[in-house]
Homo-oligomer: A and B are copies of this chain.
Amino acid sequence: VPDQVDRLVAAWRRERPDLDVEPLEVLSRLSRLARHLELARRAAFVELGLALWQFDVLTALRRAGPPYKLTPGDLLADTLVSSGTMTHRVDQMEAIGWVSRQADPADGRVVRVRLTASGRTVVDAAMDNLVARERRLLGTLTAAERADLARLLRRVLEPFDEELDAEPR
């Protein structure tokens, strides 16, 4: 049964027979799937009064463990956004009360972003919700297939992770 990407690839082969579009079989599915996931996650979080970008910041802090503090710079690497974006995000979430800012006693340039108790409550609920839904989503695959998929994705992801240390944002 052909899917949307099969149709897309067939269309390219018809319109640009000079181009070998084989890479799209993987990368176009990947982009579309990521976009669908984003839309689905956003819809699920609306009920919790939570925006997707807020969830991304909260989970980074939650994962860090007690005392739930990271610098804006740490958060950049986790969320892959620019530094200006992160400042704005922290502003908003500080106003809501999910995070707070603290000066770093050792280095005056650095700020600590700390997850508050209410922020932790929200992110734990959202994470329960998310993992449950995403498990359903992967239910069409066997455990072995999921492991295969994870392994292949890791291989493609490798070059990107390596260059992360070098790039400013």
Chain A residues engaging chain B, CB cutoff 8 angstroms: 3-5, 8, 11-12, 14-16, 19-27, 29-40, 62-65, 80, 124, 127-128, 131, 134-135, 137-138, 140-141, 145-150, 152-161, 164
Number of copies: 2
Known: A20-B131, A21-B131, A65-B15. A29 touches B150 (CB 8 A): yes
Which chain B residues border A152 with CB–CB below 8 Å? 141, 145, 148-149, 152
Which chain B residues border A128 with CB–CB below 8 Å? 19
Which chain B residues border A31 with CB–CB below 8 Å? 34, 37-38
CA distance A80 to B147 in the complex (A): 28
CA distance A35 to B5 in the complex (A): 19
